[in-house]
Amino acid sequence: MEIESIKSEDRCIGKKLAPYNPVSPQSYEIIFNLFAFNKNEIFYDLGCGNGELLIKSLLEYDNLLDACIGVEYDKVYYDRAIENVTKTFGTSNNHKIKIIHDNVLNIDISNATGIYF
């Protein structure tokens, strides 16, 4: 059974705050210019979809980022994010990137220095 065939309300934790509509690769540079990362950043993507923005951030700014944390409430996109992170950084994974399967409203983001929402 295709996982998408599971009803959205049965695979999601909490209320939908935005539909899945990923950032286009052409917009990454604009986003990174706006964030202008400094050292020791803790970057959150709230509603991280398939994790591509976090992965791109870490590939480009590994020296500045202490942590890249994605929160995704939909199990389908959460699983894709985990798969993409593993594909990119290997099975040992990059200890700086973390994907959380939860509702963004449940997450303590008090340590964030940058938030994409």
Ligand X SMILES: C[S@@+](CC[C@H](N)C(=O)[O-])C[C@H]1O[C@@H](n2cnc3c(N)ncnc32)[C@H](O)[C@@H]1O
Cβ within 8 Å of residue 89, ≥6 positions away: 55, 58, 97
The DSSP result for 2-18, as a single string, is -GGGS-HHHHB-S---S
Backbone torsions φ then ψ of 31, nearest 5 degrees: -65, -45
Q: Kindly state the smallest distance separating residue 45's Cβ from ligand X, in Å.
A: 5
Is 62 or 102 the residue whose CB approaches ligand X more closely? Answer: 102
Q: Which residues bind ligand X (CB under 6 A)?
A: 14-18, 20-23, 45, 47-49, 52-53, 71-74, 77, 103-104
Is 17 or 111 the residue whose CB approaches ligand X more closely? Answer: 17
Is 52 or 91 the residue whose CB approaches ligand X more closely? Answer: 52
